[in-house]
Chains A and B, each alone.
Chain A
């Protein structure tokens, strides 16, 4: 079956530090890959996505590149802010079955940015 593995936190960084959150996956076929963010007390927001190998998703200074050879989709940001403190989820969608299987999520990484 499909699975997503991401580094578990909490990850604590100082403001303006460089961020990397690792994510690797196991899937059949050619999945789409996503990063979702959950701010305290809120729902899930799509941060970025990539639908095929070598695609780079980007949004709000965050980037992730779909690496099929290493089955990875690591999230990066050059300079984090206190407002980036949240839980980040890596996820994949296996398009076999027309999306009936939904998203498979990693366990989430709690990011804490200190001023």
Chain B
């Protein structure tokens, strides 16, 4: 069983569209995250979320919004997609204390 799974693996869409990326973890972890990896491979956290609190990186545009239907899922919704949103998006999770993180395999988003 995949510990952190995200779908789709590839997503190609036009500018202005709204899209979602789904993430599920079966590790029983309390905290989930979304990271963005740009074309230069640089990784930056976008959001962290546990069942009590959402922490937003202040540099993330408000077109991006995480949605968590339950503890095991953290989906990423993106409105009005722009060319600059093209990147690889990684979901991750961690247990309490955050001494370990498990990553999904990534979603490569291409905006054309």
Contact = CB atoms under 8 A, between A and B. Distances in A.
Interface in B34-69: 35, 40-45, 48, 50, 53, 55
B106 A43 contact: yes
B1 to A, nearest CB: 16
B43 A89 contact: yes
B97 interface: yes
A43 B31 contact: no
B100 interface: yes
A102 B42 contact: no
Nearest to B6: A43
Nearest to B91: A43
Contacts, number: 75
Chain A contact residues: helix, strand, loop or mixed? strand
B104 A99 contact: no
B103 A44 contact: yes
A97 B30 CA distance: 13
A42 interface: yes
Given A100-B31, A100-B48, A107 B99 contact: no
B30 to A, nearest CB: 8
A108 B88 CA distance: 15
Nearest to A44: B103
A99 B31 contact: yes
Contacts of B96: 98-99
Most interface-central of A43, A101, A105 (chain B CB within 10 A): A43
A103 B105 contact: no
Contact of B92 (A32, A51, A102, A104): A102
